[in-house]
Each structure stands twice: as structure tokens, then as C-alpha cells.
A and B are shown apart, each in its own frame.
Chain A
Amino acid sequence: MSGQADVRMRIQDLRVALAESGVEILKGVSVELHAGRIFALVGESGSGKSVTSMAAMRLLPEALEITGGAVQVGDQDLFDLSESAMRDVRGRRVAMIFQNAMTALNPVQTVGQQVAETLKLHTVLRGDPLRQRVVQLFTEVGIPDPDQRFSFYPHQLSGGQQQRVMIAMALACEPEVLIADEPTTALDVTIQEQVLKLIRDLTQSRQLAVLLITHDMGVVSNTADDVAVMYRGEIIERASVDDFFHHPKEEYSRRLIDALPDLTHFQSAAAEQPLLKLDDVKVHFPIRKGVLQRTVDYTRAVDGVSLHIGRAETYALVGESGSGKSTLGRAILNLESVAGGSVQFNGEEIQHLGRKAMLPYRKQIQVIFQNPYSSMNPRLSVGEIISEGMESLGLGLSKEERNKRIDDLLTRVQLGPEVVSRYPHEFSGGQLQRIAIARALAVEPELIICDEPTSALDVSIRSEVLDLLQELQREFAVSYLFITHDLSIVPTLAHQVGVMQLGKLVEQGTAEQILTRPQHPYTQALLKSVPRID
């Protein structure tokens, strides 16, 4: 640890409570930020890590209030300042960047104006020098063509560039402290890596003290110097990054670290008995233009994908947002019309089947969606949700048999039959995803398409759901097409891996091949950005 002299911000025994009920959200949080070092505050959703940063800036929503503690920047206790003096601190001495740059930037102002606003608020720069300063900042954060980009609106920039604008805005007045609240969560992994590198470099070059708030242990291990784990409003462990990853003290910290990928053990390949075979599958969406809205071109969402999945096998389809992987999943389910190629299930072509003819296959191909909260009708009870498929697909079960199976399934996914009459809003995300698994299993499918089933879940719950999926595979010999953007969950789960980019499958092979000897440059880039402990 560095000496006392470079402490830039000191949060002491910070306490925050709900204004109405007095329930404590933060129970005495203390953090010290040092110049040139990145301090990572780690925790899952609801642990209070974002509240800590907002409280330090005195930007809490009205429902929350600070009940105790102090935040010192230099010699100044921020909680003693008047609101107008506090405004002078924000942006000048302590700056912030936020998770979703798209919404965090004002959509109707040019990005140049928005960066200039910070400078106008805290400096006397005006006119041309102001503009030049902004362009200089854009250059520093690595925005190409900075002079032109000045008059771009946020939506005209890519996600990575938007986040760079946010960083430029934060750094404009050369603050001492930078608070970065999940700065890379909304970005694709390859871009995430670049933005983190930028933050690391700036920390060094400007001797910033950085508070990095994240839920992603990979980000921590790649970026931070010190780390503190937050759990239910308290810091339960703090250490330097090296110490932390090699000798975690708390059981909870260990669980978080265990969720990181292990790139040494892989699933051995399963039996070669093809269940699903895709041959040059294409899904096109028309682009219409002109007075008559004629179709002038197509967006090739899926552009000639061939793959096959064996029985009781898991095929992981990896790619970033917009690569067409979810569209492919919907095409297999016959929810999207296929423009070319064939989808064979058990040797039968199913891509052109009508509604009625598809019904027998609906029993055999099921799906689990990404967002557990929207994948269940809020007005139906758990029992009704699970029995829906059994009823509509006419499995020929009596009401008693159906209820028996629902009870069995709920027990099997570790929820217990007593939840059958409850409603979705009473469950957490992880529990809902278990219900979704039970719903899919209810019709005894042979293939389940899992569309990012764990990406909305906290890390510690993620592994439980993945473990459950694996157990069920062994038990029911069901195959999975596992759609994900997260390479890190692949090694424990998949037999085969395919990497998708812009609608095309750029590389496929066994999990071991892809993860240890990637051939395609895109796969290599993806793999490089996967966090790991060295």
C-alpha cells in the first residue's frame, strides 16, 4: 500500500438508510482511494456498491438518505459543504462514469457540447480554446477523427466510443478521483477490454485515484490494484488483488472467484448421434426503401450456418450482440422463417412445416429465454405456467398426472412442490430460471435451446443454474444448444463450440480445440478478453 500522503478520497463509516422505513442499506462502509491506484468494489446486484458511490457524491435519490459517516476529498469533508460548493466538487475534483453510456449521454446534444459543458461549468475556457480542449480530450481517450466527432450525436457513435466520450467528459477538468460505476458491463467483451485498458493507462498517466464498481471478477483481476467485496451493505473482505485471488478469506469471496473459467478441464466429446442438423441455414430480414417501400436489400441476420448437435450433447454458440445467434435459435424453433438451407431434426426437415405439422416437434424442441422476468406471464401461477405446454401439446395426461409431474419437476429443480400456486413476481431471477427449466422439461423434449439463460443472473447464482442444467442432461439425455456471449461459461458446459460473427459461423470444433487452439482471429480476440487468474 502507498503512503498516507497520496490518499485522494477517504470514505469513513458511511451509512445510508431508506428515508421512509429507516432500513439500513449501507452499514458503515469505509474506503480509501490512492493516487495512481484502482480500487475495485465488488458485489452482486443489491449489495450496495452503487449506493456507496452515489452517496459519496451526494447524488442519492430522494428515497435514500445518508445517516452517518464522512467523505473526505483532500481536507474537505464533502458532507459539510453547501449544495453549491458540492456542485463545484462534482466534475472538477471527483468525476463519475456510468454503466450505460447510450442512456447516460443526452441524446439531443452533440457529444462535443456535452464534454464542453463540464469545462464551462468549472473553467473559464470559452469559444475556440474550449473546442480545442475538447478535441484534445477526445484524442487522449482514443476517439478517431476527434475534430469531426465533436458535432456527432451520441447515437451516431458505437458503444465503445460512447463510453470513451463519457471518460473524456469525466477527465475534462482533471479530477483527482474517478468513480467508474460498471463502466464496461453494457459493452461487448472485445470492446470491454479496450475501455479497461484506457482506464488503466489514464490512472497511471494522470495519477488518478479510481473507484471501480463492478460485479465482474474478470474485470477486477485484469484491472484493479486493490479489491473489497461488498455483501448486503457491508465490506466483508478487502485485500490487494493478488492476495485476494490466491487466498480468499471468506466463503462468499471464494464462490465469486470460483465462477471464473477454468481453461484446463473440458467436457469430453459426446456420442456422435446427430439429433439436430443445420445445413446452410439463412434468415434474412428485408430492407425497404423509396416511395413504394420496395425491398431493395436484405439484412443477413443468419447467413449460411451449418452445424450438428448430437444426442445428450451441448453445443455452445458464442458471439457478441447482433451476431445473429439468437435469431438462429428462433429459426430452429420455427418462430422465424428460414430463407434458405435446411433444419433437420431426427432426420426430418422441419423448417417449412406449418403450424399444425410443427406441433409434434414442439414437444421435442424447447426453449429457455434470457430474461427470466419477462419469460413468465405475471398473471399465471407457477403451476399454470408449467402445465401450459402439457395441455396444449396434448400429452394425453389426466389432470392428476399433470399435477404429479409438476410437483416432481419442481422438486427436481430444487424449488419444491409448495411453490406451485405462487406467482412469478414472488421469485428471484435464479428461481424463475429454474421454473423456466421445469417448464421446458415438462414436455420431455430432446433438445432445449438455451438463449443466454444465465446472463441476467448474478455470478454466484449463475453456476448453480449451470450445474442444474448439466445434471439434468445426464439424467434425461437431453441436448442443449447453448447461446451465449460469455466464453467463460463454455469450458465447464459445452462439448462443441461454434463462434458466430455477423451471421456467419467463423469457427467450430470441440470445446478444447476452440479454447486452447483458436484458429480464427476473431475467436482469438474473444478468448483474449476472457478474464482469468494467472
Chain B
Amino acid sequence: MLAYIIRRLIYAIPILIGVNLLTFTLFFVVNSPDDMAVSQLGDKYVTPEAIQKWKVKNGYDKPLFINDEAEGLGAVTETIFFNKSVRLFAFDFGRSESGRDITTDVSTRMWPSLAVALPTFAVGIWVNICVALMVVMFHGTRLDRWAVFVFVALMSISYLFYIIGGQYLVAKTWKLVPVSGFHSEGQIWRFLILPVLVGVVAGIGSGARWYRTLFLEEANQDYVRTARAKGASEISILFRHILPNALIPILTGVVVLIPALFMGSLLIESFFGIPGLGSYMLDAIKSQDFAIVRTMVFIGSILYIIGLILTDISYTWADPRVRLN
């Protein structure tokens, strides 16, 4: 088990290097520092001096990969690649284009993100499983067919509508909770209820539909027939046999997402004015702050890889047949 985890961590290194190279290529080779200077300075006819000044100020005045002028190790370290990309590995995220310290931003903004994303995730799974179980109990009836249609219809509605609709109805028309905002003191839950609710409702269509398929797949297995032949009732078959088996694929699909909860949701956070990492990313995209985007890409990749490893570990826990080696 330990050997397996260590091996997976070692495998993660080339992947992170790949992510790093890819983002570096995107940000510095396709789009050279000069281009960036021009677009940041915002004027098409800026002088070369202004560009140079901007590059020095932001640390883009060095060569991309190899510095011929520097001596010794400096040939590698005094480069944009080393300063902007390799440092990410040491979790040294540097400063954003607007001069803020990214590491501080990330560590303070991650908690509001989690406060929204974690309940959404947990409640969402619980609701989806319950809804799916209910539908499966009525399998083969008209109710089941209509439920599937409703799931597909719910899936066909854009996430944006759920948010806008939720805000319009719950916050604006019924005035139950504030439309948006986030204060860390006092009644924080008042700001969380609506985003969590919207997140859960928006996920029911695809989630419940997927779980229903998983349950039905298990319902066709031989061991269900055995349980029936034992004289077990349909309800006890559903909960004692089908559910534990169906949890295995559910787990693999879901565990990989857990670490990424730190990243928050772009849309929910921006609509509800939650100062988390999601809205941080959105602001970075809108203001074309590549230093932040690069950092978030790197963090996102690490969280994804952790998610993959967690998935494998959770497998051994849920499925006695699986042994990692």
C-alpha cells in the first residue's frame, strides 16, 4: 500500500512537469513578454522604453530558458522559466501582475471556497442517491419513465439559469436570504444557504440519472437473483445488496473531486460575491493576470493528482476485491 502511494507520487512528478511546460509554452512562448507588456500597458503604440521598463519591473527581462550571460548555475536560474515556472514546485507563487502576494491570497481565499463547495458536494451526493434510490424502487413503472425525462430536462438547463433563477426567486422575490455577499462574522450560513441550494439543485439532473443507471446495472447482477431466492424483500435487496455494490463506482467518480473542492466554483462564487478562489480565478481571467492563472493551473493539477490517488485508496476501502500493488 505504502509502496503504491510512493510510486503514484513519483509518477506525479512528470505530470506536473508536463503541466508546467505546457503552461509555460502557452504563456511565454506563444505570447511573448513583449506582447504581454503591450497588452498590459494598454496602448498599441507604446515606446520600446516603456515595454522594457515594464519587463524589468515584472521580471520578464531575462531569457526564456538559458541565460548565456550569467555564470555557472545562473545560466539556468536567471531565466524566466526558472523564475516563473520552476518556483511553483516550491510553492513560491510570487506576485500577481498587480503586485499582490499570490500565496497569501490563495491561503485566505481557499476557506470561503471550501465553505460553499464542501456542503454543496456532500448534500448533493446525499440528495442524488436518495432521489435515485426512490426512482429505482419504482423501476419499470410510468413514474420511473417520467423521472428520467425530468432528469434529462433538468440536465438541459444551463447552470447560469439555476443561479440567476435562484437569486431572482429566493433572494429577490421572496427575500429569504441576501442576494450575495459573505461576511465572516455572525450569520455566515445566511450567505451559504442559497449558493449551496443552487449547486445541489443544479446537480440533481445529471447526478440522480447517473446513480440510477448504476443502481440498475447492479440490480441485474446474479447476486441479486440469489438474494431474491433467499426470500429477501425488494427493499432489503436494494439497501443491503445493491447500494453497497453501487457505492464502488459512485466512489470512484466522486472522490477524485474532493481535493478540487478547495478551488471552489467559478460561477457560484462570482454570482454570489463569495471571496473564494473561484472568483479569484475569474477576476484573474478578466483582468488577464497570467501570474494568478498559472498558479491556479498548478494548484489545480496537484489537487487532481491527489484526487486520483485518493480514488485508488478509497477503492481498497470499499471493494474487498481490490488490493493495490
Physical contact A–B (CB less than 8 Å):
yes
Is A521 close to B, CB under 8 A?
Answer: no
1/0 contact trace for B196-226 toward A, CB 8 Å? Answer: 0000000000000000000000000111011
Contact B232 A59 (CB under 8 A): no
1/0 contact trace for B93-123 toward A, CB 8 Å? Answer: 0000000000000000000000000000000
Contact B10 A291 (CB under 8 A): yes
Report how far A290 CA is from B7 CA in the complex, Å: 8
Is B6 close to A, CB under 8 A?
Answer: yes
Report how far A289 CA is from B6 CA in the complex, Å: 13
Partner of A59, one of B140, B223, B228, B240: B228
Contact A104 B226 (CB under 8 A): yes
User: At the interface, is chain B mostly helix, strand, loop or mixed?
Assistant: helix
Closest residue of A by beta carbon distance from B2: A291
Report how far A91 CA is from B236 CA in the complex, Å: 15
1/0 contact trace for A100-141 toward B, CB 8 Å? Answer: 100111111100000001100110000000000000000000
Q: Which residues of A contact B240 (CB under 8 A)?
A: 117
Which of A82-90, A202-210, A332-340 contacts its partner? Answer: A82-90
Closest residue of A by beta carbon distance from B5: A291
Q: How far is the CB of B117 from chain A (nearest CB, A)?
A: 29
Is A155 close to B, CB under 8 A?
Answer: yes
Contact A121 B232 (CB under 8 A): yes
Report how far A105 CA is from B227 CA in the complex, Å: 9
Closest residue of A by beta carbon distance from B325: A289
Q: Which residues of B contact A98 (CB under 8 A)?
A: 222, 225-226, 229
**A104/B222 contact (C-beta < 8 A), A153-B321, A291-B7 known:** yes
Partner of A104, one of B6, B223, B233, B318: B223
Contact A62 B140 (CB under 8 A): yes
Is B319 close to A, CB under 8 A?
Answer: yes
Within 8 A of B (CB), among A180-229: none
Closest residue of A by beta carbon distance from B139: A62
Of listed B3, B10, B221, B226, residue having the most chain A CB within 10 A = B226
Total contacting residues, chain A, CB less than 8 A: 34
Closest residue of B by beta carbon distance from A87: B231
Is B245 close to A, CB under 8 A?
Answer: yes
Partner of B225, one of A104, A169, A290: A104
Closest residue of B by beta carbon distance from A59: B228
Q: How far is the CB of A161 from chain B (nearest CB, A)?
A: 16
Partner of B320, one of A104, A118, A155, A290: A155
Contact B10 A96 (CB under 8 A): no
Q: Which residues of B contact A118 (CB under 8 A)?
A: 230-231
**A103/B221 contact (C-beta < 8 A), A108-B319, A289-B325 known:** yes
Report how far A88 CA is from B245 CA in the complex, Å: 25
Is A405 close to B, CB under 8 A?
Answer: no
Contact B320 A108 (CB under 8 A): yes
Q: Which residues of B contact A57 (CB under 8 A)?
A: 229
Q: Which residues of B contact A104 (CB under 8 A)?
A: 222-223, 225-226
Partner of A291, one of B3, B226, B321: B3
1/0 contact trace for A48-70 toward B, CB 8 Å? Answer: 00000000010100100000000
Q: How far is the CB of B322 from chain A (nearest CB, A)?
A: 10
**A103/B3 contact (C-beta < 8 A), A62-B140, A90-B230 known:** no
Is A92 close to B, CB under 8 A?
Answer: yes
Contact B230 A91 (CB under 8 A): yes
Q: Which residues of A contact B229 (CB under 8 A)?
A: 57, 59, 90-91, 95-96, 98
Q: Which residues of B contact A169 (CB under 8 A)?
A: 226, 230
The contact sample of 8 A-B pairs, CB cut-off 8 A, is: A84-B233, A90-B228, A91-B232, A98-B225, A104-B223, A106-B245, A107-B245, A107-B321
Ranked nearest first, the 9 interchain pairs of A and B with the lowest CB-CB distance are A91-B231, A90-B231, A103-B222, A91-B230, A96-B229, A153-B320, A106-B223, A104-B222, A87-B231
